[in-house]
Amino acid sequence: MTGPDGETVRIDTTRPHPARVYDWWLGGKDNYPVDEALARRILAVDPTVVRGARANRRFMQRAARTAAEAGLRQFLDVGTGIPTEPNLHQVVQGVVPEARVVYADNDPIVLRHAQALLRGTPEGVTQYVHADVRDHASLLADAAKSLDLSRPVALSLVALTHYLDDGVHDLLRRYVDALAPGSWLILSQVTPDLNPEEVARATEQFRRSGTPFFPRPLHEFARFFEGLELLGPGVIPVPGWRPDPQDVADQAEGIVPVYAGVGRKG
């Protein structure tokens, strides 16, 4: 496979990858036996993970729609994952056809599906960049080819920060510092607070597979929003963030150990 700059990109099917594990939980088919095996092992020790994956997806859709309705016209979705409709650009361009959306991910299998991510409205812009969230300078430079970073951007990192180590707070601060006033930060993150035994077992399965995994308690998740105006209802378990009727119904099924929040840069 050839990457966006002509480099050869290889899909490693010998080790599970979070994007493909997540795809299996969402009922997708773009995963390999090694991903399914890990997804099933985690599901066996933590039966909330499928609900969590689906609740995360719906949170992204609600938060993105809220941002578009609030007047944002530019969106940067980091850790895009494998396309699952409706994608972020379909949500926001359904509200604002001229919205500009850039997706970023470092998984070659997501690159393979990039064309599915690029079917936006004629009035808008929809682009994909193959980039690593940890290289914020390069990722933002690539995003700036399609987005005007001197104007507000909604930066979405949904179900991503729990795969990043303890330097993640400084990393996200660099992203936020590069954004214009009026920009939004949209986040969700697995927490040990709400279902500690199951999350601990899931964490062990991830780490045994070679996948870094860092659930964070409330005070560590809230740190991501320091210096930002936290939008209501604040930091809350993911199904409860401005829920649609489906989300209200889903909350009755049990706990989802994932926090969500949206902050606005002043």
Q: Give the tens place of pLDDT for each residue, 216-235.
A: 999 999 999 999 999 999 99
Question: Domain limits at 223?
Answer: 18-264
> Own/partner pairs for 212-216, CB < 8 Å, 24+ apart?
212/163, 212/164, 212/165, 213/162, 213/163, 214/161, 214/162, 214/163, 214/164, 214/165, 214/166, 214/168, 215/162, 215/189, 215/190, 215/191, 215/257, 216/161, 216/162, 216/189, 216/190, 216/191, 216/192
In a domain, 243, yes or no: yes
Q: Is the pLDDT of residue 190 over 90?
A: yes
In a domain, 259, yes or no: yes
Q: What is the pLDDT of residue 116?
A: 67
| pLDDT, tens digit, 9 for 90 and up, residues 1-19 | 444 444 455 677 888 988 8
Instruction: Indicate which CATH number applies to the domain containing 112.
Output: 3.40.50.150
Q: What is the pLDDT of residue 8?
A: 54
Number of domains the chain contains:
1
In a domain, 6, yes or no: no
In a domain, 13, yes or no: no
Contact 261, 228 (CB under 8 A): no
In a domain, 10, yes or no: no
Give this prediction's pTM.
0.92
Q: What is the pLDDT of residue 266?
A: 95
Q: How far apart, in Å, do the first and last CA atoms of the chain sit?
A: 42
In a domain, 58, yes or no: yes
Residues, the chain: 266
Helix/strand/coil (H/E/C) assignment for every residue in 151-189: CCCEEEEECCHHHCCCCHHHHHHHHHHHCCCCCEEEEEE
Q: Is the pLDDT of residue 253 over 80?
A: no
In a domain, 237, yes or no: yes
CA distances to 3, 14, 107, 156, 187 from 59, rounded to whole Å, are 30, 31, 22, 11, 9
The mean pLDDT value for 99-124 works out to 83
Q: Which residues pair with 155 in a beta bridge?
A: 76, 185
